[in-house]
Amino acid sequence: MVDPANINFAVLFDGSDAQNTLTARTASWLYTSAGWFSDSAFDDIDRHGDAPVADDDNDWYFFDELPRITWREGAGWRRQMARAFDDLAGDLAEGRAPLPRCTAEEFALYLIIRRCSDLLADDDDYFVQSVADLSRSSADANWDHLSKVFLYDHNFLRLYEVQPDRVKDPNVALDDLAGTGEILRPRNWYRTFGDVAPRTIGRPYRR
């Protein structure tokens, strides 16, 4: 990822779009959080490889935040999840809105927005100071609005409702969530939605 200090968010997100959905400060915060999640995910893979997440294991940086239905996925699946954060960060670095193109990116953006909101609510000094050189806007940090604009729906969050005793078999677990569709099965998390352009095939992993 590009160092956020080398990205001119003030030019990329200057408020010229009609809705001013993304301000420079908001874009910078989203980018920084995307990088944090990606690094945490890759660190988990380095430490744990294919090992499943367990309830009594506190040695995870990221993957224990995902629904239990994903806890038995292997390192290959996890690397794609880490790259989902990098893909959204790449959109921001090029001045594009971070519009999710698959279920993995929906989860990624949801977690990014939630982390930004939590850090600002806690008045985290590093997070606040990271945008000190960018002009303030009344539209900064409008996280609820961003969630409504960039997340098509929130059906993916229903995966958190799957009962713990059902997650050993994802196919059985998804039976608990009638109407959510095949796209929410972990094996389909990286399948591009039908109404958006796919990411470049064969793009590298950052780590």
Residue 114 inside a domain? The answer is: yes
> pTM of the full predicted structure?
0.92
Residue 166 inside a domain? The answer is: yes
The predicted-structure confidence for 76-124, as pLDDT tens digits, reads as follows 999 999 999 999 999 999 999 999 999 999 999 999 999 999 999 999 9
pLDDT band at 62 (very low <50, low <70, confident <90, very high): very high
Residue 52 inside a domain? The answer is: yes
Average confidence (pLDDT) over 189-205:
94
Domain span including residue 149? 22-129+143-188
Spatial separation of the C-alpha atoms in residues 89 and 34, rounded to whole Å: 6
pLDDT of residue 8: 96
Tokens linked to 144 = 């609820």
Residue 198 inside a domain? The answer is: no
Residue that the structure tokens 């239990």 belong to = 68
Residue 35 inside a domain? The answer is: yes
The predicted-structure confidence for 132-175, as pLDDT tens digits, reads as follows 999 999 899 999 999 999 998 888 998 888 765 555 565 555 66
DSSP code per residue over the chain:
---GGGS-HHHHT-S-STT--S-HHHHHHHHHHHHHHHHHHHHHHHHHTTPPP-TT----SSGGGS-GGGTT--HHHHHHHHHHHHHHHHHHHTT------SHHHHHHHHHHHHHHHHHHHTT-HHHHHTTTTSPP-TTTT-HHHHHHHH-S-SGGGGGGGS-GGGTTSHHHHHTTSTTS-GGGSGGGTTSPPTTSPPPPTTPPP--
How many domains would you assign to the chain? 1
Residue 74 inside a domain? The answer is: yes
pLDDT of residue 58: 86
Summary mean pLDDT of the chain = 90
Residue 40 inside a domain? The answer is: yes
Residue 196 inside a domain? The answer is: no
